[in-house]
Amino acid sequence: MSGSPVTRPAPDLPAERRLALVVATTTYADASLRRLRAPARDAADLSAVLADPRIGAFEVTPVIDKSAHEVRLAVENFLAERDPHDLLVVYLSCHGLVDVRRRLYFAATDTVKNRLAATGLEARWLLDQLEDCRARRQVVLLDCCFSGAFAHGAKGETDLGLAGRFQGHGRVVLTASRASEYSFEGDPVPGADQPGSVFTSALVDGLRTGAADLDHDGYVSVDDAYGYVFDRMRSGDAKQTPQRWLYGAEGQILLARSSAGITITPHPLPEALRSSLDSPYPDIRIGAVTTLGHWLDDSDPARALAARQAVRHIADTDIPDVAAAARALLDPHPETTDTPGTGAGKHGQEPTESPAPVEPPPDDTVPETPRINRPPPHAEVPPPTAGSPPRAAWLQWPRSRRSRVITAVLTALLLAAAIALPILTQAGDGTSPSPVEFRSVAFSPDGKTLASSDDAGSVRLWDLATGKQKGDPLASGSNNAINSVAFSHDGKTLAGSDDYRVRLWDLATGKQKGDSLTSDALGTINSVAFSPDDKTLAGGSDGSGANDGKVRIWDLATGKEKGKPLASGNAEVRSVAFSPDGKSLAGGSSGECCSSREGKVQIWDLATGKEKGKPLISGSAQGVWSVAFSHDGKTLAADCPEGVCLWDPATGKPKGKPLTSDDDDTDAAIFSVAFSPDGKTLAAAGKGNYHGIVQLWDPATGRAKGQPLTGQRDWVNSVAFSPDGKTLAGGGRDDIRLWDPATGKLKAKLLP
């Protein structure tokens, strides 16, 4: 006896205020921010599905193609004066831009790319507004480049699964991409409606069709929506990975009602029960019917449906006595019945007038199981048996109460440890966490000094024999981060770059040498490098939207530019490196946001200023952060989507497979690569999900050398080997760390 699947409408959403803010920006006044096709379509489609009373039942507020001021005002108005029980959804679709400190900004119609702080909508500001909002349930949907950077540094960030089955609370952030990835539009179709973005199109489809109801309970939770979008994007050829971040989230937050309803497939009956129902003895079959009766109100709808369909079949087909037992279960209040064939009532008496018989419920009726705020059953704790030791009073509490007490105690202990650890660390080594983020590190040619730059605009020199800072910072208090530092090969000069200029310091006096090196429309200078003969300096920048190239070469004797800038299209050049013979320059770029022509690695012939062959890599969804030549000039390394890629710069051909580690962080990214002086070790630094990470490889074999070096928060921005190869320096969010690359052991931590 097998049952048939049935479909019933999804249960209603809980009674609550459901409010959505949909922000989309398609057009931009800044010519360097190209027009986007997808946001207008995405905003319309998502607004429709959220507002549909059969699906989302949200009150939607659209904000389309507005200035930064208008968007800020709309956000504040939307979040103001909310009730703690309101459910809020905030959606943004626009250009996402990251500044030199890797802070995420959302672009509005009047945003200027090289004036983000004044004209963009900073992600940190939006997080602050959400923190101040009284609504305890918030869902943030971000469809823009680098949207994964929204979560970094926020309070309580974690990527754990939502717990529980009831309507929950907290903030859930779903992003279209990782912190280092772009977010892509669908390919245009001539003569047809233009498609939405890859991320939002998948989300809208899952909500509209109900396919996102992954657990088939009639609701699309935020967890369901993320799982559906993730699977859709990973099963296609999307070059982006959606991310999910939770803040104080407890329970399921219900985003929509499934338009597909609930399809229930009855469980097969156990073999022993089916055998009893097929028994030739009526009493055994009646016993089996009684067992089925206990399942009719089971909390598992599939089991309840199987029981009801089996009982209905018995009521329609079995002999009168067994059928009567089945009908009694389907009709829990049976009326006085006639004895078959006599017309007489019970006990042979004539029946009195009785109400019309009650029709049994149809086969596909399954008892509603309350979904929202249904308390779990608690088993009674049996009393202690004679002779057994008395149980502590708290052990006699219900299991759930004991669990809550244990959880509270453990939480208190962990909180105390988290508070005490920094104090103990400070007392133990006399240091405290650094208030700055180190952007770049470089060793002097004699290996006695380390230079560092940070996001506070300071350049410091460190005495590696003592671990102490040497004198006052060369630069301090600038409003701009110093993105890159480099020693000249003779050890007499240090270069440091920030917005629009490169400064040179005389290391003998600590004073700046002459005027800063600069150029029209140069923009933020991300990287600097001295030529091997120290006669020229190269700088790579974002160019402030200029299309005449982003790599410039200065003559250090005159402070003037040498020749025309090296062409790099619309790409933002993040890293530059001279070949050891000084004849070539390599550059790694970020590419143009949201297009299919993303980051690349290029090599230029410095004698002609022309590119040597085609780019070594093109179409990297995350862009390229760092390039480095080996000391013999026979290998060029750069970060790539798979890890670290190696090429023969003479031929442009790859050297083996990309170097990858066994680290399973889903949001890993590499920001810096460096070769050891003997070329036998390659270091790559970046971030995992929740910590900085440095991995060492043998470039000849492609194998990782030992376990990753960890310890720094969030990310490591820069790595460098000492001239003797015995020390590896890494600068990041916490401090500067010095490791022994041979053993992987920490040698020192440098703090200002």
Nearest to 146 by CA among 106, 187, 90, 197: 106
Domain 438-516 falls in which CATH fold?
Hemopexin (2.110.10)
Tokens of 570: 């619309």
Round to the nearest angstrom and report the end-to-end CA distance of the chain. Answer: 77
Q: Give the separation between CA 174 and CA 384, rounded to whole angstroms.
A: 50
Nearest to 250 by CA among 167, 175, 321: 167
Q: pLDDT over 90 for what percent of the chain?
A: 41
| Domain 17-262 in CATH 3.40.50.1460 | yes
8 A C-beta contact, residue 425 and residue 409: no
Tokens of 738: 């010095």
Among 49-58, 282-291, 410-419, the least confident range: 410-419
* Mean pLDDT on 427-435: 46
DSSP 145: T
pLDDT band, residue 241 (cuts 50/70/90)? confident
Q: Give the separation between CA 612 and CA 615, rounded to whole angstroms.
A: 8
User: Over the stretch 502-528, which tens digit does the pLDDT of each residue have?
Assistant: 999 999 999 999 889 886 556 778 899
Tokens of 567: 């062409």
8 A C-beta contact, residue 128 and residue 77: no
DSSP 4: -
Q: Does the pLDDT value for residue 423 go beyond 80?
A: no
Amino acid in position 380: E
Which option is the CATH number for 519-750: 2.130.10.10, 2.30.40.10, 3.40.50.970, 2.60.40.1510? 2.130.10.10
Beta strands in 518-563 (DSSP E): 525-530, 536-541, 551-555, 560-561
Q: Give the separation between CA 438 and CA 651, rounded to whole angstroms.
A: 36
Q: Give the separation between CA 61 and CA 26, rounded to whole angstroms.
A: 17
Q: Does the pLDDT value for residue 25 go beyond 80?
A: yes
- Give me the pLDDT at residue 245, please: 78
Q: Give the separation between CA 325 and CA 286, rounded to whole angstroms.
A: 7
Amino acid in position 402: R
**Averaged pLDDT of the chain:** 78
Q: Does the pLDDT value for residue 217 go beyond 80?
A: yes
DSSP 465: T
8 A C-beta contact, residue 272 and residue 326: no
Among 88-97, 166-175, 645-654, the least confident range: 166-175
8 A C-beta contact, residue 129 and residue 78: no
User: Over the stretch 582-595, which tens digit does the pLDDT of each residue have?
Assistant: 999 999 987 655 44
pLDDT: which is higher, 133 or 475:
133
Indicate the pairing of strand 493-498 with strand 501-506.
Answer: antiparallel
* Mean pLDDT on 678-697: 86
Q: Give the separation between CA 684 and CA 624, rounded to whole angstroms.
A: 13
Q: Residue 475: beta bridge partners? A: 459
Q: Give the separation between CA 660 and CA 679, rounded to whole angstroms.
A: 18
pTM of this structure: 0.55
Among 218-222, 239-243, 326-330, the least confident range: 239-243
pLDDT band, residue 444 (cuts 50/70/90)? very high
- Give me the pLDDT at residue 7, please: 76
Task: Tell the burial category of 383 from Cβ atoms under 10 Å away from its Cβ (0-12, 13-18, 19+).
Answer: exposed
* Mean pLDDT on 261-284: 85
pLDDT band, residue 621 (cuts 50/70/90)? low
Domain boundaries, the chain: 17-262, 266-348, 390-432, 438-516, 519-750
